[in-house]
Structure 1
Amino acid sequence: MVSALRGLILMGLLILSASALATTLEAEVDRAQVEMGDVITLTVTARDLSVTQSLPAPDFSVLDQDFRRLAQENNTQLMVANGAMRKFEQWRVQLSPKRTGILTIPPIRVGKMSTRPLTVNVKPASNSLKDHPAYFLDNSVSPQTLYVQQQGLYMLRFYYRGDLINGAVAPPTFGTAQVLRLANQATYRKLVDGLPYTVFEWRYAFFPTEAGTLTIPPQGFQGQLYLDQRLRQVSGNTQPLSVKVLPIPNSWPDGTPWLPAHNLTLKARWIGIDKPLKAGDTATLELTIDADGQRATLIPDLPMPKVDGIRFYTEPPQLDNDLRTDGVHGRKVLRWTLLFEKPGELTLPALALAWWDVNAKHIRKATLPARTFHIEPAASRQTLKAIEPKNKAPVVHPGAPQDSSALQRWQLATAAATLLALVFMGLWWRQRRLSVRTTHQTETGDTQATRHPTGRKQSDLCHLAPKAFYRTLLQQRDRWPQDRNFTEAMHTLERALLVEPDTHQAEAAKETLCRLIEQIPAKKAPPASTLKPLYPDA
């Protein structure tokens, strides 16, 4: 008895929670751009119904003014989500437009609810659809006139009635033009003067490489078709098409890469400039070029101008073609690493890319504005600090009371320091006599100090990590030897540290530079004095 009561209570809660949800009614069509004879599907969905709630069938009679109603179906689904039971009811109806133009699907009433109105753009059917054979091919091209390397669109359709047992359509050929297939085969239904056809559709983008007339030859089809209880061997061909290809306009500037497109944009992203920049620091510029109606391979590289104080390292570009039903969307991503070599105000000039607007038929330029960087001097490797002795001598003021123990410690420290000074003076005097004797006996100073042009000992320099080693050399650029091997090794080290990080390559470049520094002739110190000793040995 208790368990049955609990079950009833639980079912009641589920019903109440489901009924508390707001019921919605939605409508949508599978295609909003169609031709006369196409069949579209209208779907009406009622959401968030209670499990006990039932709705009357939709009133589709309001569609009869502009559409012919074909097949119709409905289904119901139950599901539990977040502890609430929900019910969905859906109705589908296939429609064929009765006329061309912008047709409105009025609100569909289901009980007290209504959907929002929808619109469908219906265009005239192709001329080849006037006849009603069991099958036929249809092709079209746009635009009829285009420039060299401009995108053209070609569409091929195969219509048939009945059941297609097998068949194949030869791919189209475009002479010397470059071709990209835009999408996989599309399949849909279409009414031609009341007769139902199944349609296979293929779309291509092509780019002529020569001015003149481009002829697209007929496309053929062969297969077997089952129609009217008969198996038929079928074959057919399209009509040839011609396109007029214009040369590059005379107004296009000489020496500029030709780039026709529907639209082109530049978008820059800077990396590493969100902090104060110092000499020796780097930043990265990532430039994305998007071209509608053009391939990524035709988008030219942007050369970087020479800027005093900035060195550029170019990375390989990234190319991508987004193939859509309405054409190609090309993208090229360029990346540069900027090395700031000196402090000051360093300005990267504006960058511009010229392109030809195929719609307006004139030149446009996509630009990236100039940018100025404030570069601070490189930080010193060492900072000297004043060091105070831990045990400072006490300051004795006349007339002030004195601490006898502190005074005694101070006197002992003074005596010890004096004794230590006398010992060092004796050792220095002995060493001086030995040095004078050695200088007198040696004709050339083998122990003379050497100093490399880098301003520090070679052994100390080569013990640094590659990045610290590089920064030290960069700060002493005016002391670099005029040697091609040295310059090439420095460029290799820069690339391994800044552009394409490679620890092994950086270490190898550092070792090469160390060997080259060892080979630099050392600057000898002035010869030691050859005066006779003041006190010769007895």
Structure 2
Amino acid sequence: MVMRLFCCLLLLCAMPSFAATKLEASVDKNPVLAGEFFMLNISVNDTVNGEQPDTSVLLKDFVVGPTSLSTRTNIINGSINKQTTWSVKLMTRTEGQYTIPSFSVAGLSSEPIDLTVAKRAVNADKNNDIFVKTSLSSSSLYVQEAGVYTLKLYLAKELLDGSLSTPSMEDAQLTQLGKQTESYELVDGKRYLVITREYLIQPQKSGAYTIAAPVFQGRVQQNYRQLEVSALGDDLEIEIKPIPSDYKGAWLPSELVNLDEEWQPNDSTVEVGTPITRTITLTALGVTKEQLPDITMPTIEGIRSYPDQKENNNAVRNGRVVSQQTASYALLPQKPGTYTLPEIKLPWFNTKINRISYATIAERTITVTPNSSSVNTPINAPQNMNDLPLDEANTESNSAGKPMAQTATVINQSPLWLIGVAILGYVLWIITVIFYWFNRSNINTVENVQPSPTSLNQPSLKKLIKVHKTGDIKAFYNELTHYAIQVTREETGAIDKLCQSINNPQLNNAIIQLQAQLYGNKATNSDLGAIIKILESEQTQSSKLQPTVLKDLYN
């Protein structure tokens, strides 16, 4: 047992002890060309887990590519060597002298590296198999004015894989517009695959800025070989102008702003209750859809307005950002008359002439006429003398002199019993006339009492209930209009007057929801059953009150 322990101790002592003792940094090229990728390798002579060098310090002077990690173990004549290496792709945009700083791993530090970057020849990319072109819609923009940055990558070889970085600019937002497109172009007799990307630039501060060009790196296929390639576009200078100090109002810089409207129906004369759709379109060049101000519709007394949801969109046309806002309104005239919709005026800053301009929609006058489909109660003429009131029948009889004379002649020729019957009839007629005049005074007293719209003479709600069961809200509204006209005896604004006479907030809200559902283009659910219940309740209360009133009049 002792011998075994002794052998184990000997083996442990014979095993070499490994510890990181050296950290080195090196580059595969020095000097390098501006716009050319080179490799930075950082190696330590041990296996290191959970640690890696901090390469963020390189971002100040270099374009930093992805970092790869590799480990290696060599055993030669019983001697074991381990190595851990981090490889980083780097590139500089401009020529000059640079210093790659030292790095620290596992308590060790590397030595800094002096790097020389030479200027790239002007014709270095001429007839090259891969190159990048960049362009701007305008070399001068105002603060928050939208510009378009266009990037084109030209490839003459078959692309296996690659990555294209995003252009960058201080104090600005750069956003890619849509997806990249692919096409083919012939350049100096050579066919290229062209990958195009467009970026929206929105500067936030004024001053002179540089847009750093994107960098491409990838692999292409050439004669059964895979080659690593890279390309760098040209940096572009841009001037950002400040907001003029004398400008007032919401800032909207643009080359062109336009307001337009459409009407449906496009008539200047409409009837009460006829819905009108007004669509206002705002178009602006050189701004984003988020910068478009909201267009509001002024309130017009006598016309209800139901706004629809607004739609904002933007697109790129001929290297310019075009944004558009569409807003629709449903207008519902409530009363007849002449209405003037005021002018809509939108201020904006014209970047072409460098001064404030206005986009306008002229005022518009519309005439609202009474509803031609109003329900009028026909007055039927009496068919015979028995339908006339007693005084009118008496007047009619007295005005016919000749028939009375003929009647007298007939009586003189009649028997005595017939004369007695005539005398009795005459007496009864006199009694009837006296009774009629007595009752007429009581009837006039009843007529002097102002009846409410909800009385026993109300039209039936059967048709309204029947339409409600069909679920047709348009037919329900039309029938409700006819009902209101019959109750109020008003041809215009009958529904509003019916609501005023009943004075029920629930009925008012229910009818407003019904009109919004019909003309507002919104997902509004109106309670038709509530409208019927309120009207039935009003009729029931009226029927209970009416006998009491009549009883008091005749007592």
| TM-score, normalization by structure 2 | 0.53
Partner amino acid for 1:179? T
Q: Where do 1:127-206 residues align within 5 Å?
A: 131-132=125-126, 133-172=128-167, 177=173, 179-181=175-177, 184-191=180-187, 196=190, 198=192, 200-206=194-200
> How far apart, CA to CA, are the structure 1 residues paired with 2:554 and 2:153?
110
Flag the structure with higher helix content: 2
Tell me which residue corresponds to 1:474: 495
Partner amino acid for 1:370? E
Which residue among 203, 211, 231 is the counterpart of 2:205? Answer: 211
Tell me which residue corresponds to 1:267: 260
Which SS does the other structure have where 1:302 is aligned?
Answer: coil
Which SS does the other structure have where 1:285 is aligned?
Answer: strand
Partner amino acid for 2:521? E
> How far apart, CA to CA, are the structure 1 residues paired with 2:222 and 2:352?
46
Identify which range, 223-232 or 514-523, moves more after superposition: 514-523
Tell me which residue corresponds to 2:511: 490
Identify which range, 337-346 or 134-143, moves more after superposition: 134-143
Which SS does the other structure have where 1:328 is aligned?
Answer: strand
1:321 CA displacement: 2.8
Partner amino acid for 1:303? T
Q: 1:475 to 1:131 in 2, by over 3 A?
A: closer
Cα deviation code 1:477-520 (max 9, x no counterpart): 67256665444333212112322388963524534754885899
Partner amino acid for 1:140? S
Which SS does the other structure have where 1:476 is aligned?
Answer: helix
Tell me which residue corresponds to 2:362: 369
Q: 1:293 to 1:339 in 2, by over 3 A?
A: same
> How far apart, CA to CA, are the structure 2 residues paired with 1:516 and 1:207?
65
Which SS does the other structure have where 1:157 is aligned?
Answer: strand
Partner amino acid for 2:273? G
Q: 1:167 to 1:347 in 2, by over 3 A?
A: same
Partner amino acid for 2:375? R
1:347 CA displacement: 0.9
Q: Kindly indicate whether residue 551 of structure 2 is the aligned counterpart of residue 528 of structure 1.
A: yes
Which residue among 262, 269, 283 is the counterpart of 2:276? Answer: 283
Pairwise CA RMSD: 4.6
Q: Where do 1:46-85 residues align within 5 Å?
A: none
Which residue among 324, 327, 333 is the counterpart of 1:331? Answer: 324
Number of aligned positions between the proteins: 363
Partner amino acid for 2:202? P
Tell me which residue corresponds to 1:499: 520
Q: 1:530 to 1:297 in 2, by over 3 A?
A: closer
Tell me which residue corresponds to 1:233: 228
Q: Where do 1:71-470 residues align within 5 Å?
A: 131-132=125-126, 133-172=128-167, 177=173, 179-181=175-177, 184-191=180-187, 196=190, 198=192, 200-208=194-202, 210-212=204-206, 216-227=211-222, 231-241=226-236, 243-254=238-249, 256=250, 258-274=251-267, 276-379=269-372, 380-389=374-383, 460=460, 464=464, 465-469=476-480
> How far apart, CA to CA, are the structure 1 residues paired with 2:136 and 2:194?
17
> How far apart, CA to CA, are the structure 2 residues paired with 1:185 and 1:167?
16
1:131 CA displacement: 4.0
1:312 CA displacement: 1.1
1:286 CA displacement: 1.5
Q: 1:503 to 1:311 in 2, by over 3 A?
A: closer
> How far apart, CA to CA, are the structure 2 residues paired with 1:210 and 1:462?
67
Which SS does the other structure have where 2:194 is aligned?
Answer: strand
> How far apart, CA to CA, are the structure 1 residues paired with 2:186 and 2:350?
36
> How far apart, CA to CA, are the structure 1 residues paired with 2:523 and 2:133?
57
Unaligned runs of 5+ in 1: 1-126, 403-414, 433-448, 533-538
> How far apart, CA to CA, are the structure 1 residues paired with 2:499 and 2:335?
12
Partner amino acid for 2:381? I
Partner amino acid for 1:496? Q
> How far apart, CA to CA, are the structure 2 residues paired with 1:148 and 1:383?
68
Identify which range, 359-368 or 293-302, moves more after superposition: 293-302
Q: Give yes or no for contact 1:161–1:227 (8 Å, CA) kept in 2.
A: no
Which SS does the other structure have where 1:495 is aligned?
Answer: helix
Partner amino acid for 1:356? F
Which SS does the other structure have where 2:551 is aligned?
Answer: coil
Q: Give yes or no for contact 2:257–2:348 (8 Å, CA) kept in 1.
A: yes
> How far apart, CA to CA, are the structure 1 residues paired with 2:123 and 2:536?
81
Q: 1:530 to 1:499 in 2, by over 3 A?
A: closer
Partner amino acid for 1:269? E
- Higher CA-based Rg: 2
Q: 1:356 to 1:481 in 2, by over 3 A?
A: farther
